[in-house]
Amino acid sequence: MDLNKYQKAANRTLMGEEQVLTNCALGLSCEAGEVANLVRRYTFEGDKLDRDQLTKELGDVLWYLSQVAEWADIPLNEVADDNINRLNVRYPSN
């Protein structure tokens, strides 16, 4: 799926008008913590890494990330392109 199309489709489900940036930034942090906790339990507690649960949590991270970018009027494709360009500069021989 095109990231900009995802961003617009995800925005349809955004509820409320107040403190959108704060809500989405805090939600992003919480969902990233859910991903980290799955990895922690896999790494240190011997849990099986549940691919379906990891996919769900990564999707939640993506939703919140897309809405922080939407709030700032930054297309998600631009975020991805900028990141790859910076990585290419940082790691030119890889």
- In angstroms, the CA 42 to CA 57 distance is 15
Give the burial string for 50-82 (b: 16+ CB within 10 Å, else e): eeeeeeebeebbbbbbbbbbbbeeeebeebeee
pTM of the model: 0.92
List domains and CATH numbers for the chain.
Answer: 3-90 (1.10.287.1080)
Structure tokens at 85: 């360009």
The per-residue pLDDT for range 28-65, each reduced to its tens digit, is 999 999 999 999 999 999 999 999 999 999 999 999 99
